[in-house]
Amino acid sequence: MFFIFSKIFEFLATPTHFALFIGALGVALSVTRFKRTGCALSGGAIVLLLVMGFSPLAGLVAIPLEARFPPPPDDMPAPDGIIVLGGSVDENLSGMRNRVTLAEAAERLTAPIALKRQYPTARLVFTGGTSALRGSAYTEAGTVRRFWREVGLDQGDVLYEDKSRNTFENAAFTRDLVQPKPGERWLLVTSAMHMPRSVGIFRKAGFPVIAYPVDYRTAGEMSGWSVPRHASRSFGLLEFAAHEWVGLAAYWLTGKTDALFPAP
């Protein structure tokens, strides 16, 4: 039930969806006796879309998330394990096309390859089932298994968790799978913007992890900002960031994270 409500909430909380909803409502009202209100809503939706697409708003919202957990130093002690969160492949398209289809967060899959070769004794775990509301015949874990096999990653001790549908289940199911021992060092690999919520969830699940952020979407500062050539990039960045901020609040309110904005 939580999964269904979270999906509905995510859809309604998406900035672009919200702006389009306001615009559509305005158009509908403009042919009724509430024409003035409808025109105001339609105009407001246009302004909102322009701000989201061609202003610094997306970067201002995203940068604090990406800066929250810096990467560990290059000379860090060897970890006991490496956990990789899903969100880097399109499992349904991969299955239907019978070829691995990577998503925008592909670095979640490429970075662990280098980490595993650098720390060959570390246990490598990928966690990700399907995010489809009604389930799917394909899973992220199955697609990632195929991808890592195709690029030559040794599959001998790699574990795959293929039942989880969200980050909360990633943490719980991975904890039960690997049963970490006190004092062990586990790296958590996921997008930098997703890291605060992920770390908070793993902590709440009793599984302390070391952040290893990848898939950065910003330069980390606004000093070099310029008007984007394509609004779609700003829309995507803002939606990703808004999704994380809303997720942080929702997971904290429901007791699934240890803090509203988890810190190192």
State yes or no: pLDDT of 131 exceeds 80. Answer: no
What is the overall mean pLDDT for the chain?
89
Task: Please write the tens of the pLDDT for every residue from 182-237.
Answer: 999 999 999 999 999 999 999 999 999 999 999 999 988 877 677 777 788 898 99
At residue 64, the pLDDT reads: 96
pTM greater than 0.75 (yes/no): yes
The pLDDT of residue 116: 94
pLDDT value of residue 130: 80
The pLDDT confidence band at residue 150, using thresholds 50, 70 and 90, is very high
Of the listed ranges 13-17, 38-42, 150-154, the least confidently predicted one is: 13-17
Find the mean pLDDT for residues 50-72.
93
For the ranges 7-16, 52-61, 189-198, the maximum mean pLDDT occurs at: 189-198
Mean pLDDT for 114-118 is 94
* Res 12 pLDDT > 60: no
What is the DSSP secondary-structure string of the chain?
-HHHHHHHHHHHH-HHHHHHHHHHHHHHHTTSTTHHHHHHHHHHHHHHHHHHHHSTHHHHHHHHHHHSSPPPPTTPPPPSEEEEES-SB-HHHHHHHTS--B-TTTHHHHHHHHHHHHSTTSEEEEE-----TT--S--HHHHHHHHHHHTT---TTEEEE----SHHHHHHHHHHHH-PPTT--EEEEEEGGGHHHHHHHHHHTT---EEEEE---S-S-STT----S-HHHHHHHHHHHHHHHHHHHHHHHTT-SSSSS---
Mean pLDDT score, 129-154: 82
| Burial environment of residue 27 by CB neighbours within 10 A (0 to 12, 13 to 18, 19 or more) | middle
